[in-house]
Amino acid sequence: MTRTRVLAALAMAPIAIAAILFLPTPWLVALAALVFLVGLWEWFKLAEVDDTLHRTVLLAANVALMVAIVWASRAAAGYSFVLFQLVALLGVAWWLAALLWLRRFDFASDHETWARAFKLGAGVLAVVPAWCALALIHAQDTEPTHWPIVRQGHVWLLTALAIVWAADSGAYFAGINWGGKWFGGRKLAPRISPNKTLEGLLGGLVAGVAVGVLLAILAGLAPAQVPAMLLLAAVTVLFSVAGDLFESLLKRHVGAKDSGHLIPGHGGVLDRIDGVLAALPVFAIGKDLLGL
């Protein structure tokens, strides 16, 4: 991990955490939409939509979709999040289907229009449900915590994101220190991401689950709910890995190293949120199903 990468992470992390914990949900959802849409812009580039006008029109269509979801969710007393739940559930279904795509490296790997259409559809199904899941988690559980303006839903969203961040860091350090030593040198997905090891996956799983449970306790997790949280955190980590691998697949298809160059030492915005896109819908739906 380069010095620039570490410094950039140290600069971004406090801002992100403060926004999650202290911003009201409408403000955070608007800020998240901006970040996710930048990532989607980069996704369009990986889908080989090179014309700026075409990408702008596609981005505007997704903005309109987000606005329509918010508008349709208005209720007599605030907002109903049923539509957000349905879209998040659609996101879970998409990432389950994406696992099949990951097994077929060559699918949509050429440069024909049909391949581009599949990748554009995948971008919408990755970004919009993740954004809906973020709003859903942050707005839930309106009981205050020990801090007067921090709600349980805010801490739960931090928990979901911290699982991904911890898993990413844990995988990196486990891969650097023990990669190739425990599983006979077997790689996780050699054709998609040659540097990812099974040791890294295990390290990321341990780190993500540990951080997830600790933060969930701060969010009000009861002792009897710990086993369910262990399961949810583990599944969230695994799906975050799938999101990371899917972006790597897109980059392999077009021969790109990074999705962009906006963040020093990290590449593009999509390079930072790829795991988050897959993890958030799974966490949001799983949390509801497990009664957490």
Determine what percent of the chain is predicted with pLDDT higher than 90. 58
Residue 4 confidence (pLDDT): 58
Q: How far apart are CA 166 and CA 87, in angstroms?
A: 26
Taking alpha carbons only, the member of 166, 164, 88 closest to residue 133 is 88
C-alpha torsion sign, points 287, 232, 31, 17: positive
- Bridge pairing between strands 193-197 and 187-189: antiparallel
pLDDT, tens digit, 9 for 90 and up, residues 160-192: 999 999 999 999 888 888 877 787 778 888 889
pLDDT band at 80 (very low <50, low <70, confident <90, very high): confident
Q: What share of the chain is helix, strand, coil (3-state, %, to 5)?
A: 75, 5, 20
pLDDT, tens digit, 9 for 90 and up, residues 115-132: 888 999 999 999 999 999
- Torsion, CA 71, CA 277, CA 271, CA 38, rounded to 10: -10
pLDDT, tens digit, 9 for 90 and up, residues 206-240: 999 999 999 999 888 899 999 999 999 999 999 99
Q: 238 or 114: whose pLDDT is higher?
A: 238
Residue 165 confidence (pLDDT): 94
Average pLDDT of the chain to the nearest whole number: 88
- Tell me, rounded to whole angstroms, the distance of Cα 10 from its chain centroid: 19
Is 266 a residue whose pLDDT tops 60?
no
pTM more than 0.75: yes
Residue 2 confidence (pLDDT): 58
Domain ranges of the chain: 3-290
Backbone angles phi and psi of 127, in degrees to 5: -85, -50
pLDDT, tens digit, 9 for 90 and up, residues 12-61: 788 889 999 989 999 999 999 999 999 999 999 999 888 899 999 999 99
Which amino acid, 103? R
